[in-house]
Structure 1
Amino acid sequence: MTKNDTTDILDLKDRNYRLAMLNGWFVLLGDAFFNGSIVLASFAAKLGAANWAIGLMPALLNAGSMVPQVFVAPYVARLPIKVTLYRRMALLRVASLGIVALGGFFLGHRPDLLLWVFVAGLALNGLFTGFSSLPFWETIGKTIPMERRSGLFSLRNLVGGLLAFGAGFLVRLILELPLAFPYPYAILFTLGTLAFAYGWHLFGLIDEPPDTHTRTERISLSLPFRDFYFRRFLRVRVLLAIASMVEPFFAAYAVRVLGHKSEIGTYLMVYTLSSVLSNLLWVQVSRRYGSRSLILIGAALGAVTPVLALLLPKTAFWLVFALQGAYLSSIGVGTATYLVNLAPTDARSSYIGLSNTIVGLLAFSPVLGGLLADRVGYVGPMVVATICYAWALYAGRRLKLLEPV
C-alpha cells in the first residue's frame, strides 16, 4: 500500500466520521421540533384530541421504530451495503413527515381530518424508522472505528442537544406569533422535517465498504429467555415501559389544566437542557458504578416526578420537565448499556432485537394512560406511573451487577 493509498483511507474515515457527526446534530434538532412528550402532545391537546389519542402520538414513533427490528435483522444481514436501505427509507421518512406538515397548513378547518392525517404520518414515519435503525448501526459499526465511537456519540449528543435547546427559543417565538392554530405548529413541523431530511441525507453520503461475504443472521427468540439474568432485566424494562404511559401527559396537563400556551417552548428548552447536562453526569456514573446504577437512579426520579406534577404551583411546573429530561436520559443510557453488556457476543442480535421488539409493543402504554385520564383525570396515569417506577426501582436492585464500562 502506497502512502497516497493510506492517506485516502484516513481521509475517508474522517469524512465518514464527520458525516455521522453532522447527521446526529441535525436529527437531534429535528427531534426538538417533533418532541413527542411536549410539542406533539400540546398540539394534539389544542386540537381537541382525546387523551388516548394524545398518548398515541409518541407511541407511534417509539413502537414503530423498535418493533420491526427483530424481523428485519436477517434481511439487513444479507445486504452487502447496509446504508442503501437507509437511503431508501430516508425518502419515505421525509415524505411521511411532509404529510404531517402539509396537513397543518391545509386542514386547519377540518380538525377531525387533520388528526387522522397527523396520526397516519407519524405511524408511517415510525415504521420506516424501524427499518432504518439496524442499517444505521451496521453502517456505524463498519465505518467508525471502535475507539472513536464513544467520542462520536458523546459529541453528537452534546452539540445536538445544545441545538435542540436553542430550538426551544424558536418554538416559543413561533407559538407566540399572531397566527391562527394550527399554523404555528405547521411551521414547527416544517422546520423539523427539513432538519431531519438534511441529517438523513448526510448519513446516506457515508461511503460504506461492502461485506466481503454474505452473512446469514439467525434470530433465536427462545435463547434470551433461557437466560435468568435477561428475564430479570426484561421485567424491569417492562415496568419502565408501562410507567412511560405518563410521559406525554405532563404537557397535556400544562395546556388543559394549568392553561399554559407559549410556556411549551420554555418547557422544551428546560427538558432538552436537563437531558444534555444530565447525560454528561450519567456517562461518568456508568463508568464508575456500572449501568445498573443508572437504571435505579432513573426509576427513582421517575417515581417522584408525577407526584411533584400534582403538587407544584404553576410557576414551578418547569421543574417537572427538568426531572423528566434527567430520568429519561438516565433510563435510556442505563438500559441500552446494560443490555449490550449482558448479552453474549454471539447472541447479541437476539438479545437486543427481542428486547427492543417487546418494549416497542409496550410503547403503546401512553394510549392506556390516555384512556385512564379520560375516565379519572390526569391523576390516574400519574399514580400508575409512580407505582410502576417504584416497582422497577425495587426489582432493579436484584439485577446482575455488571462491571462498569
Structure 2
Amino acid sequence: MKSETPRPPHIRFNFAMGLIHGILFQTGMAFSAPMSVLPVFLSHFTGSLTMIGVFSALMNVGGVLPQLFVAHRLESKPRKKPVLVVAIWVRAAAWAILGLLTYFCVECNTLIILVALLVLLFTFSFAGGVAGIPFTDIWGKALPAMLRGRFFGYRQLFGGLMAIGAGYVVKQILGDPSLSFPRNYAFLFLLSFVFIAVSYIALSSVREPEGEVHAQPRRLSVFLKQSVRILWEDRNFGWFMLTQLAMGFSALAMPFYVLYGKDKLGMAAEQVGILVGAQIAGAIVSNLIWAPLSDRVGNRIVCILTAATAVMIPLSALLSSTVGWTLLIVVFVLIGVSTSGAGIGFTNYLLEIAPGPLRPAYIALRGTLAGGMFVMPILGGLIVDVYSYPAAFVVSLIALLMAVGFSFKLKPVRSVGASR
C-alpha cells in the first residue's frame, strides 16, 4: 500500500530533537509535579479540597477550549509549526512568571496569589491546548507508525531517568529547614522553567514535513458539523473515545492520593519526593514493555493493558488505609505505568486510525471530549469534602472498570497503521 507521506529525509534530526524535548520537558515538569507537588503547595493557601480540585482542573480545561478552533484554522495549512512555536513559548513564559511571583510575593495577600495562580495555570493549559494540535499532527507526518512507539517510549524512558533526579531534588528542597515557604516552591517552579525552556528550543528546531490537507478551508460551522459526524460514522473512533472518557475518571481521585497520605496516613511533606520518584520509576520500567509492544504488536493491546493497570490505582489507595502510607508508593508506581502506557498507546492508536487530511479534526475531537473531563478533580474535591477520600477512590475504580470493558471493543488496526 502506498504511504500516506513519503519517509522524510530529516527523520533522524527530528527524532533527536523530539527526544531531547521529551526528556527535558518531563524532567522540568517533575520539579512541579501537578499530581503531587502542586496540590501540597496549594494546600498552604486554602484548606478547601474543592478549590484544590479547581486548580487541578485548570491544568486540563484550558487545553480543551481552543482545540476545535485551532484544528479548523490549521486543517488547510500544510505546515503548522509556526502556531506550535508561539504557543510553547507562551507556556514557558507563564511558568517563569509563576516562579518569580512565588519567590517575590512572600507578603502578598492570599487572594491575590490564588487569583494569579489561577490565571497563570489557565494560560499554561490554554497554550498547551493550542500547541497540542500541531504537535501531534507533526509527529503523525514526521515519523512512520512503526517508529512512533520507540519515539514516545524513549522520550518517557530517558525523561523518567532524568526526572528521578528531579524527584530527589524535590525531596531535598522541601525537606531543607533553611528554605522557608514559599521560596522553596519558587525554586522548584524556576527549575521547571529552565528545563522546559531548553526543551522548547529543541522542539522549535524540528523540521516539519508537508502533509495532506484540505485544499479549501471550510467554514467553521461546516467543520464543526462534519467533525461531530465522525463520532457516528467511525464506530471504532467512538469506542476509542468511550474508553478515553471512562479513563478520564482517574483524574477524579488523582490530586488527592498525596493529600490522603498527608492528612490521613501520617505521611510527612518531604516524602512527596519519594512519590514523585515512584511515579517516574513506574513510567521508566513500563516503557521497556510499552514501546516494543506498541511497535511490534500494536497499540490496541497497549490501550487494554493501560486501562487494566489504571484499575489497580484506586484499588491500592483503598488498601493503604490498612497497610499504611507506604502503599501509596505502589499507587504512584501504577500512576507512572498507566500514564506512560496511555501516552504511547492511545496517542499512537489515534494516529493510526485518523485519515491524514482529517487528522487535526480527530486530534481536536479527542482533546476536546477527553478534556471535558476537567470537571473530574472538582467533583473529586466535592466528594472528599462531603464524604471522604475513599468515596472518591471508589467512584474512580468503578469508571476505570468500565474503561477496561470498552477497550476490548477497539479494532486491531496495525495493518492500517503500518501504512501511515
Seq. identity, % = 29
Q: Deviations over 1:79-128 (max 9, x none)?
A: 56432222222332122112221221133333332222112111001101
Residue 170 of structure 1 deviates from its aligned partner by 0.8
Name the CA distance, whole Å, in 1 between partners of 2:296 and 2:210.
38
Offset at 1:344? 4.0
Deviates more, 1:162-171 or 1:300-309: 300-309
The answer on 1:249 being equivalent to 2:256 is yes
The 3-state SS of whatever aligns with 2:251 is helix
Aligned counterparts of 2:212 and 2:133: Cα–Cα separation in 1 = 19
Partner in structure 2 of residue 117 of structure 1: 116
Aligned to 1:300: 308
- 1:3 corresponds in structure 2 to none
User: Secondary structure in 2 aligned to 1:196?
Assistant: helix
Equivalence for 1:172 = 171
Q: How does 1:268-279 map to 2 (within 5 A)?
A: 268-279=276-287
In the TM superposition, what is the alpha-carbon distance from 1:212 to its structure 2 partner? 11
* In structure 2, C-alpha distance between the alignment counterparts of 1:395 and 1:186, rounded to whole Å: 42
Secondary structure, counterpart of 1:314 in structure 2 = coil
Aligned AA (2:252): M
2:20 aligns with: 22
Instruction: Provide closer, same or farther for how the CA distance between residues 138 and 45 of structure 1 changes in structure 2, counting only shifts above 3 A.
Output: same
Are the equivalent residues in 1 in contact too, given 2:98–2:189 (CA < 8 A)? yes
Q: Give the counterpart of 1:223 among 203, 227, 230.
A: 230
Q: Partner letter of residue 297 of structure 1? A: L
Deviation at 1:369, TM superposition (A): 0.7
Residue 274 of structure 1 aligns to a residue in which SS? helix
Given that 2:94 and 2:124 are in contact with CA atoms closer than 8 Å, whether structure 1 keeps it comes out as yes
Q: CA deviation at 1:249?
A: 0.9
Whether the aligned pair in 2 keeps the contact of 1:270 and 1:321 (CA below 8 Å) is yes
Task: Give the letter for the 1:203 counterpart.
Answer: L
- Identify which range, 20-29 or 381-390, moves more after superposition: 20-29
Alignment-mate amino acid for residue 183 of structure 2: Y
Number of the residue aligned with 2:244: 237
Aligned to 1:61, which of 55, 59, 62?
A: 59
**Partner residue, 1:4:** none
* Cα distance in 2 for residues equivalent to 1:322 and 1:174: 22
Q: 1:231-281: CA deviations, max 9, x gaps? A: 222222211112321111111212222342111011101101101211221
Q: Distance in 2 between matches of 1:130 and 1:36?
A: 17
Equivalent AA in structure 1 for residue 32 of structure 2: F
Q: 2:105 matched to 1:107?
A: yes
- Distance 1:231-1:207 versus aligned 2 partners, 3 A rule: closer
> Does the 8 Å contact 2:152/2:343 carry over to 1?
no
Q: Per the alignment, in what secondary structure is the counterpart of residue 36 of structure 1?
A: coil
Whether the 8 Å contact between 2:303 and 2:341 is mirrored in structure 1 is: yes
- Cα pair distance change 1:60/1:217, threshold 3 Å: farther
Residues 314, 337 of structure 1: CA spacing in aligned structure 2 closer, same or farther, 3 A cutoff? same
Task: Note closer, same or farther for the CA distance 1:346–1:61 as it changes in structure 2 (3 Å cut).
Answer: same
Task: Return the alpha-carbon distance in structure 2 between the equivalents of residues 133 and 359 of structure 1.
Answer: 13
Q: Could you report, residue by residue, the CA deviation over 1:353-391 in whole angstroms, capped at 9, with x for unpaired residues?
A: 212211111133111111111111211211100111112
**Structure 2 counterpart of 1:94:** 92
- Residue in 2 aligned with 1:370? 381
What CA distance in whole angstroms lies between the structure 1 residues aligned with 2:325 and 2:146? 47
Cα distance in 1 for partners of 2:41, 2:81 equals 34
1:243, 1:384 within 8 Å by CA — same for their partners in 2?
A: no
Which residue identity does 2:335 align to in structure 1? Q
Q: CA deviation at 1:214?
A: 8.6
Partner Cα separation in structure 2 for residue 280 and residue 62 of structure 1: 28
Post-superposition offset of 1:315 = 3.1
How far, CA to CA, are the matches of 1:160 and 1:359 in structure 2? 25
**Partner in structure 1 of residue 4 of structure 2:** none
What SS does structure 2 have at the residue aligned with 1:262? helix
Alpha-carbon shift at residue 325 of structure 1 (Å): 1.2
Equivalent in the alignment of 1:5: none
Structure 1 position 260 matched with structure 2 position 259:
no
> Residues of 2 paired with 1:73 and 1:344: CA distance?
14
Aligned partner letter, 1:187:
F
Residues 309 and 207 of structure 1, relative CA distance in 2, 3 Å threshold: closer
> Residue 205 of structure 2 corresponds to which residue in structure 1?
205
The count of residues paired between Structure 1 and Structure 2 equals 396
Query: 2:75 touches 2:357 (CA, 8 Å); kept in 1?
Result: no
Report the Cα distance in structure 2 between the residues aligned to 1:97 and 1:366, rounded to whole angstroms: 21
| Cα distance in 1, alignment partners of residues 209 and 355 from structure 2 | 26
User: Relative to structure 1, is the Cα distance of residues 242 and 291 closer, same or farther in structure 2, using a 3 angstrom cutoff?
Assistant: same
Secondary structure of the 1:127 match is: helix
**For residue 6 of structure 1, what is the aligned residue in structure 2?**
none
Match of 2:392 among 371, 378, 381: 381
In structure 1, C-alpha distance between the alignment counterparts of 2:144 and 2:244, rounded to whole Å: 30
TM-score, length basis structure 1: 0.87
1:326 is displaced (CA, Å) by 1.2
8 Å CA contact 1:74–1:216 kept in 2: the answer is no
Amino acid at match of 2:301: S
Structure 1 range deviating more: 395-404 or 234-243 = 395-404
